[in-house]
Amino acid sequence: MTSFQAALSTAKIIVILTGAGVSAASGIPTFRAAGGYWRTYESTSLATPQAFRKNPSRVWEFYHYRRDLVSQKQPNRAHFALAEFEKLRPNVHLITQNVDGLHAAAGSEPIEMHGSLFHVRCTSCGDEFEDRTNPICDSLAGKGAPDPDARDADIPLDLLPRHELCQRPVALTSSETGEKICIGGLLRPAVVWFNESLDPPVMNEIRVLLNRCDLLLVVGTSGIVYPAAGFASIVKSNGGKVAEFNLDPSEGADFDFVGPCEDLLPLALGVNV
């Protein structure tokens, strides 16, 4: 703790990378523990463009469930400690893999590298915008139950979330009348799925920060998913130090805080929350 706090006080650029563990105490399941299932599916298997192409109704049910869950949750002491620390130190930059918006709800301004549950993108015209309506379309009302025995709702394509002001409407057969209709493009969650590239301007901003960073805090992430999994080695190869906050001990961190980050971050950062 003493040597970490010395490094903290002398660091010129501090970057903080967070993952699902930061939101665990808010009641949001992480991806790779027991909570990483929705119905009988691994959550990560639904977070792919292939899953969406194959069964957009199922993937929309999964995201409707998560939007609804997150909208009922509050930031916890880990989010508040980071927000407080950012206020005290202007040289702190927060990057999150989380899509739940809880850092912003606590007063931070994070780079949301994997997007947001509350933004959508049109698969036809590419328009991207915030949409917090719940449910996002009538057909998802009461759907998305996570229990292993819940049945797929199999919502027809024309009744899934569609882009009302679409510049490139598409032709479909109406599931209600059987007639040809012209309808706004299918919306998808504006999150980064596996095998998709991160937004290039976002990645450039992150690269610049990592190259200047002399202390990286890695908080509540399994460190399995790239590109975030490579951030620590970039910082170390530039001579910077790495501190990890996780329930599990890490390999190769200069400072290892093992335990719940909602307890350890306020202590280590010296903030009252």
Count CB atoms within 10 A of the CB of residue 148: 10
Q: Are 102 and 118 in contact (CB under 8 A)?
A: no
242 forms part of the interface with ligand BJW (CB under 6 A): no
Point out which span in 59-67, 164-172, 237-245, 254-262 binds Zn ion (CB under 5 A): 164-172
Q: Are 159 and 137 in contact (CB under 8 A)?
A: yes
Q: Which residues are annotated as a binding site?
A: 19-38, 63, 66, 97-100, 122, 125, 166, 182, 220-222, 261
Coil vs helix vs strand at 262: helix
Choose from ligand BJW, Zn ion, none: what does 17 bind? Cβ within 5-8 Å by kind.
none
Minimum distance, C-beta of residue 171 to Zn ion, in the bound complex (Å): 14
Catalytic residues: 114
Among 46, 92, 166, 232, binds Zn ion (CB under 5 A): 166
- Taking alpha carbons only, the member of 142, 139, 131 closest to residue 155 is 139
Helices (H), 31-108: 43-46, 49-54, 56-71, 77-88, 102-105
Q: Fill in the per-residue mask, 145 to 164: x = in contact with ligand BJW (CB under 6 A), - = not in contact.
A: --------------------
Point out which span in 118-126, 147-155, 186-194, 199-207 binds ligand BJW (CB under 6 A): 186-194
Choose from Zn ion, ligand BJW, none: what does 122 bind? Cβ within 5-8 Å by kind.
Zn ion
Bridge partner list, 242 = 216
Choose from ligand BJW, Zn ion, none: what does 124 bind? Cβ within 5-8 Å by kind.
Zn ion
Among 5, 7, 41, 44, binds ligand BJW (CB under 6 A): 44
Q: Are 183 and 169 in contact (CB under 8 A)?
A: yes
Interaction with Zn ion in 176-215: which residues (CB under 5 A)? 185
- Token code pair at residue 108: 């931070």
Nearer to ligand BJW, 50 or 173 (CB): 50
Interaction with Zn ion in 113-152: which residues (CB under 5 A)? 122, 124-125, 127
58 forms part of the interface with ligand BJW (CB under 6 A): no
Side chain identity, residue 122: C
Choose from ligand BJW, Zn ion, none: what does 133 bind? Cβ within 5-8 Å by kind.
none
- DSSP per-residue string spanning 140-184: GTT----STTPPP----GGGS-B-TT-SS-EEEE-TTT--EEEEP
Which residue of this chain has its Cβ atom nearest to ligand BJW in the complex? 21
Residue 78 C-alpha from the chain's centroid: 16
Bridge partner list, 246 = 258
Coil vs helix vs strand at 31: coil
Q: Are strands 41-42 and 37-38 parallel, antiparallel or unpaired?
A: antiparallel
38 forms part of the interface with ligand BJW (CB under 6 A): no
Nearer to ligand BJW, 124 or 250 (CB): 250
Q: Which residues bind ligand BJW (CB under 6 A)?
A: 19-21, 24-25, 30-32, 44, 47, 97, 99, 114, 191-197, 220-222, 224-227, 245-248, 260-262
